[in-house]
Amino acid sequence: MIGMERQQSRARIGIIGAGVAGLAAAYDLTHQGHQVVIYEGLPVVGGLAAGFKASHWDWPLERFYHHLFQSDSDILNLAREIGAEVIFRRPITAMWYKGQGYAFDSPLRVLLFPHLSMVQKVRMGLAIAYLRYVSKNWQQFERLTADAWLSRWMGRAAYETVWQPLLVGKFGDHYKDVNLAWFWARVYKRSPALGYFVGGFQAFADRLAQRVCDQGGDIRLSVRVENLRPRPEGHGLTIRIGSGEETFDAVISTTAPGLMARLAPDLPETYLSRLRELRSMGAVVMTVALARPLTQGLYWVNLHKRDGFPFLALVEHTNYMDAEHYGGDHLVYLGDYLDPDHRYFQMTQDELLEAFLPVLPRFNPAFDRSWIKGVWLHRTTYAQPIPPVNYSSYIPPLETPITGLYFASMSQVYPWDRGTNYAVEIGRRAARQVIEYLRRQIDSREPSTAPVTVVP
């Protein structure tokens, strides 16, 4: 009976952030019977996966994230648990080169690419095959940079034509710092078939949030956390918001590392310094609704910035999901990863539109401004972690030195790239660590901030 009481004991847990990581953690914790309060500064759940919706659309559209891979087992398993439906299709992923889009999403299509010799393509293919199918030990790769290894083993022609522009586009001036383990993970996990939630990622986030609430969770939107501190008594934590303070037995923060350092100044300097050392890129995404398709069936188009493009990628979402879900609009993302101090973060929507529009006729000479039916601009200064050599030694552990405080961010999912799948994984991992911590508390009979009661 004592063991059963321990399993059924309830604790009060605070979660900062109602993105996918925070919701996944809350889902598992409320399922265990714990009292969970989530604080979210935005008016919607979903974090970077949240969507927006024009009045005549049936489905919302994502601000930042776009699709899943078939290997994204963590989020696909959670989707099955909560009854969220996923569609898998195989849209065309392409590279724009010398005025034309070349499909680059299968070995055959790579072989058909006319701007590399057969020897160069075979050498490039062997390097990718080695990373994807032969070596599973990513730790050996984090001692190397992707730039140096790829250039050596693919050859400079293939690397500079295909892969270097992608690294430059994603990491800017930091591309030579990125380690090979990150690149290995991208190659190892990608799939040609891409998944999308029926109703968009917002539908998944809303369904997950509803399950959290059905299990007793409390999600408070448009509430910003100002401070996070351990209680003076030495047990539990206090979260300060504008309306006052609340106490918890444990807290999970899913914020960006820099914000975590500001929220929890009582963390030891050794942990704070690791948070501050984590570098990342921001994201600027302009979404344009057009009256007609822009490209000829291309979904994702990687661009070379050296060719004068003012953004990294053009993504025509309605060449993947049917335009009928969006009132017949043809939706195009114009996206870029940038340093947080880049001028794009200060420019107005109209100013950015004027910078982006002149290149659209390069994809379709018939393009005219009259096609534009709507424009939306979304920006975040924390989107893409930058993983240097030996990055694993930089990553702070989820369990912080403050008792009962846990930190789970996209900077800690390494070697995997940021994304909703790994948000689910790290959120559920943080929840497991909190549950284990609470069990240790009970086993050692240490007092907690809130009464530990037994669920009837």
User: What values do phi and psi take at 254, rounded to 5?
Assistant: -115, 30
Residue 2's pLDDT band, with cuts at 50, 70 and 90, is: very low
Residue 445's pLDDT band, with cuts at 50, 70 and 90, is: low
Cα distances (Å, whole numbers) of residue 20 to 324, 359, 385: 27, 34, 17
Predicted confidence at residue 456, as pLDDT, reads 34
**Helix-then-strand count for the chain, H and E:** 14, 20
Residue 6's pLDDT band, with cuts at 50, 70 and 90, is: very low
Is 8's pLDDT higher than 60? no
State pTM to two decimals. 0.92
Span 79-120, pLDDT tens digits: 999 999 999 999 999 999 999 999 988 888 888 899 999 999
Span 126-167, pLDDT tens digits: 999 999 888 778 999 999 999 999 999 999 999 999 999 989
Average pLDDT over residues 267-287: 96
The residues pairing with 301 across neighbouring beta strands, listed in sequence order, are 94, 314
Span 296-313, pLDDT tens digits: 999 999 998 889 999 999
* Closest among 383, 392, 387, 317 to 167, alpha carbons compared: 387
pLDDT, averaged across the chain = 92
Distance of CA 193 to the CA centre of its chain: 19
Is 453's pLDDT higher than 70? no
Reading phi first (left if > 0) and then psi (alpha if -120 to 50, else beta), residue 343 is in alpha
Is 201's pLDDT higher than 80? yes
List, in order of start, the domains of the chain with CATH numbers: 2-65+198-277+396-443 (3.50.50.60), 106-189 (no CATH), 280-385 (3.90.660.20)
Span 389-409, pLDDT tens digits: 999 999 999 999 999 999 999
Predicted confidence at residue 111, as pLDDT, reads 87
Predicted confidence at residue 7, as pLDDT, reads 42
Q: Between these two residues, 243 and 205, which has the higher pLDDT value?
A: 205
The residue assigned the tokens 């709507």 is 374
Predicted confidence at residue 318, as pLDDT, reads 98
pLDDT > 90 fraction of the chain, expressed in percent and rounded: 85
